[in-house]
Amino acid sequence: MSVQQPSTCIILAGGLGTRLRSVVADRPKCLAPVGDRSFLEIQIATLAHAGVDSVVLSLGYLAEQVIAALVGAAPPIPVRYVVERELLGTGGAVAHVLDTLGLDEVLVANGDTYLSGDLSPMAPTLDRKVGELFRMAVVEVPDRVRFGGVQCNANDRVVGFLDKGGVGPGRINAGFYRLCRAALPAVGSGAYSLESNVLPQLVREQNVTARPIDGQFIDIGVPADYQRFCTMQAGAK
């Protein structure tokens, strides 16, 4: 994509990764090995190829390992770090980065989600004049049993969410967002989740839009999909 300013992307890489602990017990899940690289290296390279020009890693669990791993990795774009001293959840972590670095509008990626393809629908700045405070990338999957669904109206406003467990194809949240500080609670709100605490309220107030992305999507948070991603990357070489 040809990203318009701001083109900073926060990668949420501070979680405990308990679902993947049996595979990568000695490291944070963003450093899960994929061939001769880590998942995080691949994610940063994918974002750089899409036009993102800088990354901020939101770190917590085993932060020192992540920082040390990237020192010798020579990422293709500048990488900064913000370390949370206590678990803040996905929403609290984003707010902490924004407030620490004085940022207002950013892209946000989950540190265990791979999304490729044309990301240009996420490039334009938010249209706050029409109430757009949060933009969500969505993808069509053949079976959303592991994922909650996203319901949109004809104007691509998000109007609701469907619980996990649905059988068959559907649109799901791809874990890639564009948001502004006004979408989040005030400073000092503590730990909270983007998905559970922030998005439902924003949807009720009609502040969330969706952008379909035609690309590969994998959440490596469970061992089977992590192995599938490793196989996919090996086949791409």
pLDDT tens digits, one per residue of 149-173: 999 999 999 999 999 888 889 999 9
Q: What is the enclosing helix (H) or strand (E) of 98?
A: helix 89-101
CA dihedral 145, 22, 223, 12 (to 10 degrees): 80
Mean local confidence (pLDDT), 86-95? 94
CATH-assigned architecture of domain 8-236: Alpha-Beta Complex (3.90)
Q: 54-59 and 149-152: which strand pairing?
A: unpaired
CB 62 within 8 A of CB 132: no
Tokens 């990237």 — which residue?
A: 70
* CA dist list (Å): 232 to 9, 172, 228: 24, 21, 6
Tokens 């490596």 — which residue?
A: 220
Give φ, ψ of 163 to 5 degrees.
-65, 155
Per-residue pLDDT band for 34 (boundaries 50, 70, 90) equals: very high
Answer with the residue of higher pLDDT: 5 or 194. Answer: 194
Mean local confidence (pLDDT), 124-140? 97
* CA dist list (Å): 151 to 123, 139, 166, 170, 207: 22, 12, 13, 9, 14
* CA dist list (Å): 18 to 26, 138, 204, 223, 225: 12, 25, 32, 11, 15
- How far apart CA 198 and CA 58 sit, in angstroms, is 18
For Cα atoms 151, 17, 99, give the angle at the middle one, nearest 5 degrees: 70
Q: What's the confidence (pLDDT) of residue 14? A: 84
Q: What's the confidence (pLDDT) of residue 1? A: 47
Q: What's the confidence (pLDDT) of residue 187? A: 79
- How far apart CA 162 and CA 90 sit, in angstroms, is 20
- Whether the pLDDT of residue 2 is over 50: the answer is no
Q: What's the confidence (pLDDT) of residue 167? A: 83
Mean pLDDT over each residue of the chain, to the nearest integer: 90
- How far apart CA 230 and CA 202 sit, in angstroms, is 36
Per-residue pLDDT band for 45 (boundaries 50, 70, 90) equals: very high
Amino acid at 150: V
Q: What is the enclosing helix (H) or strand (E) of 228?
A: helix 223-236
